[in-house]
Amino acid sequence: GKQMARRYLTNPVSQPPACMAVPEEETSVFENPTPAQQQVLALVHKLAPQYGVSPRLALAVIRAESNFNPGAVSNKNAQGLMQLIPETAARFNVAKPFDPEQNIRGGLSYLRWLLAYFKGDVALVAAGYNAGEGAVNRYRGIPPFAETRGYVKRIMEEYPRENHPYDAAVTGPSPDLPHIRLRRMM
């Protein structure tokens, strides 16, 4: 009984009520964006669909990572709008992390990869973006770091959906996913 109920709760067969739906167009997370923010919004709306990533999810990540500052640098040397660490920049061929378009392309490539790896589970994708997919596998779920937990919450507030479409051809799923799914249900 419980598992049946769970299945119906997490995979609605019918359309969610209108108040729950997140219209994709309504992705402007700002009342009055500055010209610099407008430039980022336009880039995300242009590029995100090419990577199969919701603009709203990409903008949630950009807001949480750099608050739309293309020159942002963290204490871990994460760089630019989507805060790419040098390893991630290299992995997704980003030569100029402070170039907004290159940075967004790199971040979208990583999100597309994480979406396939975690089969569209938004909370795990957000945790992987923040702490690395290795940490999510090691802890078999969202790692118990306050920063990561807070980060996942912020992303889920801006992109309030449990699942996001993904392209299974990008990469195979995490070998730990069955254990992660199981632990989440318990």
Instruction: Indicate which residues carry an active-site annotation.
Output: 65
* The length of the chain, given as a count of residues: 186
Distance of alpha carbon 142 from alpha carbon 128, whole angstroms: 8
Q: Where are the alpha helices (DSSP H) in the chain?
A: 2-10, 35-47, 55-66, 86-91, 100-117, 122-131, 133-138, 146-158, 177-185
What angle do the packed helices 55-66 and 100-117 form, to 10 degrees?
110
Q: Which residues contact 83 (CB under 8 A, 6 or more apart)?
A: 65, 66, 72, 74
Q: Which amino acid is at 138?
A: R
